[in-house]
Structure formats: structure tokens, C-alpha cells
Amino acid sequence: MKVRAEKNTNLKELSNILNVHEQLLYDSNPLLKSTFIKSGETFNIPYTEKLKCHISSTSNKAPVRNIIDFYESNDCLQKTSEFIQKKRAYDYNVLLEDLEKVTEAFPFIEKRPIGQSVLGLPIFELLIGTGTKKVHMNGSFHANEWITTSVLMCWLHEYLEAVVDGGTFEGHSAMDLYQNTTLSFVPMVNPDGVQLVINGLPPEHSHYQSVMFINNNSLDFEQWKANINGVDLNNQYPAFWEIEKERKIPKFPASRDYPGDAPLTEPESIAMAKLADAGKFDLIVAVHTQGEEIYWGYMNCEPEEALSIVTEYSRLSGYKAIKNLDSHAGFRDWFIYEKKKCGFTIELGIGVNPLPLNQFDEIYEKSRGIFWASLYSLK
């Protein structure tokens, strides 16, 4: 949230008055030349409902208002009233709205594109935290699993509020996790596919004819998992890709399961591979639906600590941990095989994809601990 200084101040004084950790104010203002802020200068502060109440309380109102002019606060307050839009079909446009709200309310987040979809939609990564432990999470590799994006965004929002408000989970301080961990967060890997499943395609679209051919001339795209080219992005990685290519029934572009003509042919899968190579992650979590299961091993390449982490995931969620699965060429498979680091696939919920929104609250409550454990379980 952008505010203006009513008089000369500094970040330490603001930290004491707002009851917000000083590092969050530093990280929210990377362009400030010093910790000293002149009267009339604009800067960013995090903003939560708890902080709103703190600012508005009688005992704190005067000192805060004497130092800070909340000249943009009305717009921000309206946006925080319904933060993550979990009660509607979560397409790319909804994601963009929520990313704008999240980065405004929590300006210590860095948002950047890591690549583009086939149709040129930016694939966004959020970076949160300053620690040496590196964790990555992603959702919506598969188009009709778009509910994973809204669950991920709600996981993230809960964490961000806890970081600002001094919250904890299972005795772990959110601020400590922020300082010890750098979180890479890609909420929607396959935006073209998500848009297709939720919104369809108009006849004038450049890909209309090819998509309709792949979908047997049906306008029902609910079972579409692939990207807009008809390639399953989670069958695109060079971890025994040849096995999947041989045994997968689709030999041509399809709504699901077609692994492509070679590994890493699609811009979305390429972007994620480049991110994993550059990010040097210690742990990755790929969120899918459905089955309430956690896949955690691959070809015995996973490190020993993967077992203790998945045990904690299962304890918190009730999900079943499955070490070995007769499947290859997935993002998690490749990450474990190539990096010899911890990788997990979380299958949220039970039912038929796309899972209905009336399952959201139950899915979220069962799975939220997995998010937190991903940040505190690494040694």
C-alpha cells in the first residue's frame, strides 16, 4: 500500500508505530536510497485487516496519522474486503486481479514473468522471503485443475498476513520462515488451457479450428488438460520421456496425455524447466487434483529427508503418501531425477476434474498445512 510521509521519519520509527517488522518495510521499498524518509515522500507499507484495526484504534490513531497520510487507503480497503476470489471460476483474468491486490497489499513481494504461454500470456512468478532455503510451488499445470490456483493463492494470502501480523503455525513463526526461506510461487503454469476450459474459444480465434479438431468438434472443454497446442505439459520433461511417449495412447495432439513430439517443446514447460535450473530449489511442490494423495519418490533419486517431509504433510492433511508411481516425464519426476532434491505432487480433493467450487473450503482446510510444512520442514 502506498502512503505519504506527513513529516520526516525513518523505517525504524515506522516499524515501532505500525507494529510491522522493520525488514518488511525495507523489502517493501527497494528503491529508497536510505532508511530516512522526508516529509512528503511516498513509500510502501504492507496492509492487512489486523493492521487496519491497529491504525484505526483510538490509542494508535493519533501517532500514526501524524506521521503517515493514507491518501490511497480507501481503494486498498475496498480491495482487501474480498481478497482471494475463491468462490468463482478462477481463470487467468481473475488471477491477474488477485495478483494486483496481493502485490499492492504486500509490497515486499517481487512479481516477474518467467515466460509466456503459446498465446503470449505472461506466466508469473512471485518471490517472497529472503532466506537461503529455496522452495518452489506451482499450480494449474493441467487446465481443468484450475482450482489449484485459487487454493494456492489462498495458502499464500494466509501466509502473507501471518508474516505481517506476527502469526505462527504449529509453533513456527511466519516471520522466521520469511527470513529463512525464499519462496518461488507460480500459481498458473497453463493460462491458455485454463482460459479454454472456463471460457471456451470464439470462432474467430486463431486456434479455433485446431482446438475443435482435437476436441472432436465439441464445445465442452471440461476434460481438457493440455495446453492450447494439445500437449500435456506435465508429460514434457526429460525423465524417461520415451517411456511415456511409447505407451501413451494419444500419438497426436489431444485434450490430455499427449507428451509432444519431443521433451520440452512447449513454451510453458520450457519456462518452468528454466526456472528450476536457475532457481536452485531445495524443494518443489506441484499441486494437482484429485485423490488426496502425495507422490514423493522417483527412481530412488529423492534425498533421505523427503520421507520426513511427506510424513509431516500426511499428518497435517490426512492425505496418503505414495512413494513410487508408474509414471514418468512429469515436472516433479524430472526435478527429483535431475536435481536429486525433494519433489512432491499434491493431489487435492476427491472427485472428477474439474472439482466443483463447493469443495473449496474442505480442500483448503485439509491442505493448508502442506504449504506451511514446505517452509519449515527443510533442515
Non-local (6+) Cβ contacts of 12 within 8 A are 22, 35
Res 130: pLDDT: 92
Read off the pLDDT of each residue in 27-43 and give the average, rounded to a whole number: 92
Candidates 49, 38, 50, 40; CA nearest to 11 is 38
Q: Of the given ranges (31-35, 68-72, 116-120, 199-203), which has the lowest mean pLDDT?
A: 68-72
Res 53: pLDDT: 79
Residue 347 annotated to the active site: yes
Res 171: pLDDT: 97
pLDDT grade for 366, boundaries at 50, 70 and 90: very high
Where is 113: in which H helix or E strand? strand 110-116
Percent of the chain with pLDDT over 90: 87
Give the pairing type, strands 133-139 and 181-186: parallel
Res 75: pLDDT: 55
pLDDT grade for 111, boundaries at 50, 70 and 90: very high
pTM of the model as a whole: 0.95
Percent of the chain with pLDDT over 70: 95
Per-residue pLDDT at 123 exceeds 80? yes
What does the alpha-carbon distance between residue 216 and residue 202 come to, in Å, rounded to a whole number? Answer: 16
Per-residue pLDDT at 76 exceeds 80? no
Per-residue pLDDT at 12 exceeds 70? yes
pLDDT grade for 51, boundaries at 50, 70 and 90: confident
Q: Please answer whether residues 286 and 331 qualify as being in contact, where contact means their C-beta atoms are separated by less than 8 angstroms.
A: yes
The catalytic position among 22, 338, 347, 365 is: 347
**Cell numbers describing residue 296:** 514423493
- Give the phi and the psi of residue 305 in degrees, each rounded to 5: -70, -10
Q: At what angle do helices 360-376 and 147-165 cross, to 10 degrees?
A: 50
Read off the pLDDT of each residue in 53-63 and give the average, rounded to a whole number: 64
Read off the pLDDT of each residue in 95-124 and give the average, rounded to a whole number: 97
Res 77: pLDDT: 46
Res 58: pLDDT: 45
What does the alpha-carbon distance between residue 152 and residue 165 come to, in Å, rounded to a whole number? Answer: 20
Q: Would you list the DSSP string of 247-293?
A: H-S--S--SS----SSTT-SHHHHHHHHHHHHHT-SEEEEEEESSSE
Read off the pLDDT of each residue in 324-328 and give the average, rounded to a whole number: 94
Candidates 319, 298, 281, 331; CA nearest to 141 is 331
